[in-house]
């Protein structure tokens, strides 16, 4: 199972729903493995502009280097995989210089200042706090980032939002307690349900 947020790639963003809403196994399975591949204009916009977001990112810090990343499978739980947008080398973070780059670009926010989007859209994944703009910790994106870090073994992620005229960046740290809880539920889902169904289907 691969951990992604985008359903355009049939990624397994199963854990946010499975973790927080107790989704029915059959319903979740059908969403992951039986839905036809679709790509909405918003999805296409996001995929296209993630490249632009990556180009903007180096300007936000000094001496950072970004490397491309493919599918990462952790040998400790090889039934899970993740595809980060990139791997970052940040020499200023001496103890753990390697981290993840993950970008979000949505058509609905294009051409707007991020603070304006937050004020207009209460469902937006960012929020205004006393310490500045932050990613909501109850949002699916936050769970996605924790999964990316848990699978790759990296301890931080630079989460970026590109809105065309504005750019947001936040360093999200790994939450081991949250990840262990999610890993347990994903493992149970895979071995108690998905594995059996996929074996019957001959996948």
* Number of structural domains found in the chain: 1
CB–CB of 163/111 below 8 Å? yes
Give, for all 203 residues of the chain, the pLDDT tens digit: 655 544 333 334 444 444 444 445 556 556 555 556 666 766 776 677 777 788 778 665 568 889 999 999 999 999 899 999 999 999 988 899 999 999 988 777 777 899 999 999 999 999 999 999 999 999 999 999 999 999 999 999 999 998 888 889 999 999 999 999 999 988 888 888 776 666 665 55
CB 100 within 8 A of CB 155: no
- Say if strands 132-135 and 126-129 run parallel, antiparallel, or are unpaired: antiparallel
Q: How many Å apart are CA 4 and CA 71, to the nearest integer?
A: 11
* DSSP-derived secondary structure for 10-30: T--THHHHHHHH---HHHHHH
In-domain check, residue 62:
yes
Q: Residue 71's pLDDT is what?
A: 93
CA distance 4 to 7: 8
Answer whether residue 44 is part of any domain: yes
Q: Which domain holds residue 105?
A: 40-189
Question: If residue 68 lies in a helix (H) or strand (E), which one and from where to where?
Answer: none
Q: Could you tell me if 53 and 110 are in contact, meaning their C-beta atoms sit under 8 angstroms apart?
A: no
Is residue 202 in some structural domain?
A: no
List of residues 6+ apart from 195 with CB closer than 8 A: 79
pLDDT digits (tens, 9 = 90+) for 84-118: 999 999 998 889 999 999 998 877 777 789 999 99
In a domain, 8, yes or no: no
pTM of the model: 0.80
Considering the domain boundaries, does residue 22 fall inside one? no
For residue 184, what is the domain's CATH number?
A: 3.90.320.10
């Amino acid at each position: 199972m691969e951990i992604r947020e985008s359903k355009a790639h049939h990624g397994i963003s199963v854990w946010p729903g499975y973790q927080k809403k107790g989704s029915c196994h059959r319903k979740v399975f059908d969403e992951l493995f039986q839905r036809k591949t679709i790509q909405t204009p918003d999805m296409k916009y996001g995929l296209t502009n993630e490249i632009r977001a990556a180009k903007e990112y180096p300007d936000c810090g000094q001496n950072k280097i970004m490397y491309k990343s493919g599918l990462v499978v952790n040998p400790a739980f090889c039934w899970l995989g993740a595809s980060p947008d990139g791997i970052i080398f940040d020499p200023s973070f001496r103890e753990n210089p390697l981290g993840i780059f993950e970008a979000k670009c949505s058509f609905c926010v294009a051409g707007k200042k991020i603070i304006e989007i937050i004020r207009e859209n209460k469902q937006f994944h960012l929020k205004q706090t006393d310490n500045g703009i932050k990613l909501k910790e109850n949002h699916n994106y936050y769970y996605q980032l924790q999964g990316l870090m848990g699978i790759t073994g990296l301890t931080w992620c630079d989460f970026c939002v590109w809105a065309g005229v504005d750019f947001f960046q936040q360093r999200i740290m790994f939450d081991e307690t949250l990840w262990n809880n999610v890993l347990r539920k994903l493992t149970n889902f895979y071995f108690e349900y998905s594995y059996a169904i996929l074996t019957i289907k001959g996948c």
